[in-house]
Amino acid sequence: MARPIPVPSAESRPFWSAASAGELHLPRCRNCGNLHYPPPARCPECLTEALHWEQLSGRGRLWSWTEIFVEAIPGFEPPILVTQVELAEQQGLVLTAGGDSREIPALTLGSEVQLCFTEPVDGFRFPLARPA
Amino acid sequence: MREKATTAMVGFGTSEITRYSDRGMTAFALEAALAAIADAGLTREDVDGYIGTPWATNQGAVHAHGADEICYRPFLKALGIEHLRYGADLYKGFPTDMVVAAAHALLAGECRYVLGVRALYNLKGVDYATSASRQAWGDDQFVQPYGLGTVGARFATRIRRYMERWGVSRHDLFEVIALSRRNAARNPVAIWRNRQISLDEYLDAPMVASPHCLFDCDIPVCGAMAFVMSRSSDVPSAAAPAFLKGWSGHQRPWDVFDDSGVSAQDVDQCQLYDGFSSMVYEWLEGFRWCEEGQAWKFIRDGHADVDGCLPVNTFGGSLGEGRLHGMGHVREGYLQTAGKAGERQLSASDHCLVQVGPYDSSSFVLLCREP
């Protein structure tokens, strides 16, 4: 597997650092209290930079998914499963993840899933949705 | 309420459309541009404005002028134009954005005749859908490592959810492709003009990003299209005009009607962007021609056919014609409302809505027979 490797910035680095430790962290706005994904430079509601990173449960519901059958990522053997997971902590907060083609397509939308993380690839680990 | 629009499309040109070519991209763009200028009854010397959208949208693009993009400054040289008053390329814009930008330039009095050019090119030896980069910068770091940015995966997840929610099957999605092929049969430049498709052929086709298979994706081609626009008071005597009565962007879609005095119910026909088949559902519901979750039935039951209550993509759409990124939709809106659509001409063609772009970034123009 050869996923493109993220080039983090100050705004996104805490996400990837936590992921490499097998944890899901996202920024929460200190003003309006909303969680954001992907990590923004400022809260798009309040426009404040006062974002506080916190650990989430990784629990959620399957929002949608697709299986890519072309070699969209060189060296990444199709099918490539892409999942979208609505996180338990906030309605409408949908995170992109991978998954296993033997598991996810058997689920229905709204099924409970748990996010875990891939083996490290060049020091990066990526969230994966698995049946809860 | 905007001031009453006073611009018109006065000519259109289409190049050959082909899967691959030994001719370079500039040759296609020149073919379309010269055809558009001639169609308007003008000469090159009359053109004093230019608008383009060069961006090659595929992951494997090389982004080189004359290879897979046509950019405004070098293209002017190729056209031998030396006294332009106004020109611009819209970054990642849509053909509908080009029409609006041309109207802005005309209404501001910057120029008299604006040439708009959009070209696409299918390079041999370049992997169309593949991102070769080993690193993902900026927003891509939350997209590319998962493959979500390729082969319409984000639209595939969107239609997956729609289909699950409303009980839609791939048999139903097939009806969009079948409609495109029926209409493409009356379009002499359409890639699929001589190729109808059966349900079995559709269901047997290779998957690209489920539930989209190969035939749910418009096919990459080499081709170019161009239009000429003027103020309504400057319509050339030899030209057949279609008048631009309204426009809007995705954040205020209803402005296209509110500003024009034409209602959604007055629209006779629509040209709706279909880079992926499932996109056709979006604005049939967005403008309430169908209830939420019912657009697939509307198409299945024939209401979008040429003899239905709201004909859609009467030229075959991108799915039937080839991937010109929405420029074919603009052309059809022009031809129909200017009364130039030949054997495709619909009797009801006073008001045509043209929409180009994904659900969350579309833009809209309303082309009309009367000013």
For helices B327-337 and B95-107, what crossing angle results, to 10°? 60
Is the pLDDT at B167 greater than 80? The verdict is yes
Pairing state of beta strands B114-120 and B49-52? parallel
Distance CA B299, CA B310 (A): 10
Residue A104 pLDDT class (50, 70, 90 cuts): confident
Mutating which of B146, B165, B168, B173 best tests the A interface, going by the most A Cβ atoms within 10 A? Answer: B146
Order of all β-strands in the sheet with B223-231: B86-89, B49-52, B114-120, B223-231, B7-14, B242-249, B363-368, B351-356, B269-272
Is the pLDDT at B279 greater than 60? The verdict is yes
Q: What is the mean pLDDT of residues B115-121?
A: 98
State residue B2's pLDDT score: 54
Closest residue to A4, CB basis, from B136, B161, B206: B136
Phi-psi region of B288 (alpha: psi -120 to 50; beta: other; left: phi over 0): left
Closest residue to A66, CB basis, from B130, B143, B153: B153
Residue pair B336/B314 in contact (Cβ under 8 Å)? The answer is yes
Is the pLDDT at B4 greater than 70? The verdict is no
Handedness of CA B275, B278, B279, B284 (dihedral sign): positive
- In chain A, what residues touch B131 (CB-CB under 8 Å)? 4, 72-74
Helices (H), B40-116: 72-79, 95-107
Residue pair B314/B185 in contact (Cβ under 8 Å)? The answer is no
Who wins on pLDDT, A82 or A77? A82
Residue pair A32/A43 in contact (Cβ under 8 Å)? The answer is yes
Q: What is the mean pLDDT of chain A?
A: 94
**Per-residue pLDDT tens for B35-61?**
999 999 999 999 999 999 999 998 889
**Per-residue pLDDT tens for B216-250?**
999 999 999 999 999 999 999 999 999 999 999 99
Give Cβ neighbours of residue A26 (< 8 Å, ≥ 6 apart).
A15, A35, A36, A37, A39, A53, A54, A56, A87
Q: What is the mean pLDDT of residues B323-351?
A: 97
State residue B208's pLDDT score: 96
CB contact B263 to A (< 8 Å): no
**Residue B351's beta-bridge partner residues?**
B368
Distance CA A79, CA B211 (A): 13
Is the pLDDT at A112 greater than 70? The verdict is yes
**Per-residue pLDDT tens for B70-104?**
999 999 999 999 999 999 999 999 999 999 999 99
Residue B286 pLDDT class (50, 70, 90 cuts): very high
**What is chain B's length?**
371
Whether A108 and B161 lie within 8 Å, measured CB to CB: no
**Per-residue pLDDT tens for B183-193?**
999 999 999 99
| Displacement of CA B261 from its chain's centroid (Å) | 24
- In chain A, what residues touch B137 (CB-CB under 8 Å)? 7
Number of H helices, E strands in chain B: 11, 12
Is the pLDDT at B333 greater than 90? The verdict is yes
The complex scores an ipTM of: 0.96
Please give the share of chain B, as a percent, with pLDDT higher than 70.
98
Is the pLDDT at B128 greater than 90? The verdict is no
Q: What is the mean pLDDT of chain B?
A: 96
Residue B131 pLDDT class (50, 70, 90 cuts): low
Least confident of B86-95, B119-128, B287-296: B119-128
- In chain A, what residues touch B139 (CB-CB under 8 Å)? 38
Give Cβ neighbours of residue B61 (< 8 Å, ≥ 6 apart).
B68, B69, B126
Whether B131 and A73 lie within 8 Å, measured CB to CB: yes
Whether B131 and A4 lie within 8 Å, measured CB to CB: yes
Is the pLDDT at B335 greater than 90? The verdict is yes
Is the pLDDT at B129 greater than 80? The verdict is no
Beta strands of chain B (E only): which ranges?
A: 7-14, 49-52, 86-89, 114-120, 135-136, 207-209, 212-213, 223-231, 242-249, 269-272, 351-356, 363-368
Q: What is the mean pLDDT of residues B7-11?
A: 98
Scanning A3-62 for CB atoms below 8 A from B yields 3-9, 12, 37-38
Mutating which of A82, A94, A124, A125 best tests the B interface, going by the most B Cβ atoms within 10 A? Answer: A82
CB contact B65 to A (< 8 Å): no
- In chain B, what residues touch A97 (CB-CB under 8 Å)? 146
**Per-residue pLDDT tens for B195-213?**
999 999 999 999 999 999 9
* Six-digit token string for A46: 């309040």
Q: Which residue has tokens 């009359």?
A: B46
Q: Which of B15, B242, B234 is nearest to B114 (CA)?
A: B234
Whether A5 and B164 lie within 8 Å, measured CB to CB: no
Whether B165 and A5 lie within 8 Å, measured CB to CB: no
State residue B134's pLDDT score: 84
Closest residue to A5, CB basis, from B130, B134, B147: B134
Is the pLDDT at A91 greater than 90? The verdict is yes
Q: What is the mean pLDDT of residues A61-76?
A: 88
CB contact A74 to B (< 8 Å): yes
Mutating which of A73, A83, A118 best tests the B interface, going by the most B Cβ atoms within 10 A? Answer: A73
CB contact B128 to A (< 8 Å): no
Q: How far is A75 from chain B (nearest CA, A)?
A: 10
